[in-house]
Structure 1
Amino acid sequence: MLLAQLLDRAGTGVWAAACVLYFTFVIGLDAGQVGLLLGASGVAGIAGSPLAGHLADRFPVRSLLIGAHLLRLGTLCLMLVVTDFALLLLVVAVTHLGDRGAKTLEMLFATRVAGDRRATYQALSRSSANAGYALGAGLAAIGLAVGTRGAYQVLILADALSFLVVAALVWRTKEPRGRGLVVPPAEAAEAAGSAGPADATGPAAAAPAGRGPWRDRGYLRFVLLDIPMHLDDSILGIGIPLWLVGRTEAPHELIPAFLVVNTVLVVLLQLQVSARVETARQAAGAVALYGVATFACCALLAGAGAGGVWGASAALLAAAVLATAAELVRSVSSWELAVRLAPKEARASYLGVAGMAQSVQKSAGPLLLTGVVMAAGPAGWLALGTAVAGLSLVQRRSSLRRLDRLERLERTPPVPAASG
């Protein structure tokens, strides 16, 4: 699965680096059309996670994951021949729908295969994903340097080929028996701190059968609060570079260093961070650390404009380090809480809804940063950091209260059935 993920992200990195230039110079779209195209794909991606989770409760996850990869393979091949904007809009939207669905199914499948070693797998997953993105960006740089129509088409075919290989690797990976995301008894007992088997009626009682994630207000509150806990992605990829260009004296050549810092730190430190976040309560505590790191990052950005060339460069690099620290914590805590706060009988559909947090952030985060935060200047960064830090404390408290409730339900003996 880790090799499959590395190849998947390498292909995605190729496309992410080349898509805007392909649409502009090969297809001939203007900036407005490109923006609409990418915006529509982001909206379509929001539906990918809950749809994947809904289907995963009814069909084998491995088969669905293979289907998602093959869907992306087909739509990318269509991009080689489609030039009509309306059709291209549909193709790109379906591609992104399959992309978000595949990522959710990938984590559902990995959750089953990894079992109680989920935190370790998550750490290795983040490391391989970042290595894959870096590899894909490097391959794309070669094609972009050539700059011909044929070079862009080769990049698209390379991305499509990665999905074909990944589908084959997933097909060769054995799936545990049963369709639901069943939790091992020891894992269910861990939250209560006991070594004995967990009662089958425990966590599920937090969401009675038939309600589902959309009617579970406690879980929806967790997902809603999880959206700002993904803002490190937009801060690092959009906020810091644009702030450098528009509000500081730091050299533009510093921008690639942010990606290098992020990639190196994630590869080196993700396992160590994950080793410290192995339980649901530790994950809830780590959410507060996310808020602290994000606030410190925003505070550095607020003061970067007054530091001159060297001061601004140092502040921006330090902000990139803190954004990466927030990412390291979030990548472990967010998924761990999403798994452990969901009732085990309906975990697939719940995790599909939880996956929407990242999709919504990817669509709304850039607009928030460019349209509100940076428009307000340094005060905007301070307000954002304060808001995220405050919401992280709310998320921590809310998650711990739900965990307490689940523990009480686990300790409650089942009601005996009435005799005839």
Structure 2
Amino acid sequence: MKKRFYATGLSDAVGLGMYLSLSVLFFDKAVELPNAQIGLVLSVAGITSLLGAMPIARAAERFGTRTVLTVLFLARAAAFLALSVSHSFVAALLASAVAGVLSRGISPLIESELIAQATGKEAVGALARLRSLRNAGMAAGALPSGAAIAIGEPWAYRGVMVLSAVLFVGCALISRTFGDSGHTAGSAEGGPSRVSVLKDRVFLRITALYGALTMSALVLGLGVPLWVVQQTQAPAWTVTLIQVLNTALVVVLQVRVSRGSENLGTARRMMRRGGLLSALAAVLVPLTAFGDAGTDLALVVAAALLFSLGELYIISGTTGAALLHIPEGRKTAYLAAFNLGFAVTTVVGPPLITASVGWDVWGWLGWGVYFTVVGAVAMRVPAPLPAGAGPRRPVGSAA
């Protein structure tokens, strides 16, 4: 059964990889939107992605993960087919908004089903393997997109969207073979709801740490490329090189690095280590102002490696800590809430990062301080309550 979950996650990632690596050019070359409208379409998709996760998780608890996943994948396929035939701003905006609502709800459902019956150590390993596969899938999705870009014709861009839709239909078919472990009487009657998750203050702290620390991935993916092309003598292809390095390290090392994160002490240290590695990487970037092309290339690659290693420890530590604090039978809703940490970061992070690049050395030193402080805060994540100790006190409850 687990192979089906991995196959679904991989296929989903390939389809998303096609879209993410092509979206801006698709709206430019195929739909022929001006830059301002492209930015608006992408912003609306990002905002709507924050709205769907918790309602989707609640629906899965009520109607069963298999049913909801099947409907979601079919709806996503329909949205991508609508994108493939879009010829106007309104059509592109509506299709992207629908796809955005679905985007943050699907992954937590796959994750919760994958680890439904797993112990702490098994769950950590399973999620790490899924993440490695998804990163490989995202990279694979860039290949047909690259072919479409090379062809340069609108029909090629639209064809990639159709191919993505076909993959999502395939995911829906696989989802129909899943069991419905998330559909229980307890979840349908008085089980985990959005309110109960959002009142779990300890889990919300871990979710906030997850979002704050994973800012490092956006700094690497957005801030470093902007710095490379605007402020260094490193060749432009360095941007592609650091993306390849990051993907390769995640695929090869994520499972290995995650080992032991089912222990809270280890998870805390992983988060701190990830923050410190990211801080060191951030401080290393502005040194490129003092070198030649070769030196700049070496420094950027070194920073990219540090950021990538930091990301591995951050994901492992935050995931391990989160799993320890998820009550039994509540994986779907809690994982949906946890994933919102990074979702919020993808909305608020880009403007902060692009602005900081303009602050030169001070911007990078600021990121160094930021990651150091957040990593230190992670050491204060409290231990989960022992079994049978009763429910955690919600936010705002009386002492």
Same topology, TM > 0.5: yes
Matched to 1:169, the amino acid is I
| Alignment: residue pair count | 382
Determine whether 1:137 maps to 2:121: no
CA distance in 2, matches of 1:146, 1:338: 45
Determine whether 1:35 maps to 2:18: no
Matched to 2:359, the amino acid is A
Greater CA drift, 78-87 or 173-182: 173-182
Partner of 1:354: 338
Superposed CA deviations along residues 319-353 of structure 1, whole A, max 9, x for unmatched, are 11111112212222222222222333544323222
Residues 271 and 154 of structure 1: is their aligned pair in 2 closer, same or farther, counting only changes over 3 Å? same
CA distance in 1, matches of 2:182, 2:216: 37
Superposition TM-score, scaled by structure 1 size: 0.85
Identity, in percent, stands at 26
Contact 2:49/2:103 (8 A) holds in 1: yes
- Where does the alignment leave 5 or more consecutive residues of structure 1 unmatched? 183-203, 413-420
Equivalent residue in structure 2 for 1:55, among 45, 50, 59: 59
CA distance in 2, matches of 1:342, 1:334: 12
Structure 2 counterparts to residues 320-359 of structure 1, below 5 A: 320-359=304-343
CA distance in 2, matches of 1:308, 1:219: 47
Matched to 1:104, the amino acid is P
CA distance in 1, matches of 2:270, 2:66: 31
Equivalent residue in structure 1 for 2:250, among 266, 278, 281: 266
Contact 1:65/1:102 (8 A) holds in 2: yes
Greater CA drift, 165-174 or 118-127: 165-174
In angstroms, what is the RMSD of aligned CA positions? 2.3
Determine whether 1:316 maps to 2:321: no
Partner of 2:353: 369
What's the offset of the Cα at 1:242?
0.6
Greater CA drift, 108-117 or 19-28: 108-117
Partner of 1:235: 219
Partner of 1:124: 129
SS in 1 for 2:22: helix
Greater CA drift, 231-240 or 37-46: 231-240
Greater CA drift, 302-311 or 81-90: 81-90
Superposition TM-score, scaled by structure 2 size: 0.89
Larger Rg: 1
Matched to 1:172, the amino acid is T
Equivalent residue in structure 1 for 2:374, among 366, 391, 400: 391
CA distance in 2, matches of 1:177, 1:390: 38
What's the offset of the Cα at 1:2?
1.4
Contact 1:226/1:395 (8 A) holds in 2: no
Partner of 2:274: 290
Residues 389 and 73 of structure 1: is their aligned pair in 2 closer, same or farther, counting only changes over 3 Å? same
CA distance in 1, matches of 2:125, 2:50: 27
Contact 2:64/2:181 (8 A) holds in 1: no
Partner of 1:378: 361
Contact 2:65/2:183 (8 A) holds in 1: no
CA distance in 2, matches of 1:88, 1:95: 11
Superposed CA deviations along residues 225-255 of structure 1, whole A, max 9, x for unmatched, are 3211111221221111111011111111211
What's the offset of the Cα at 1:271?
1.9
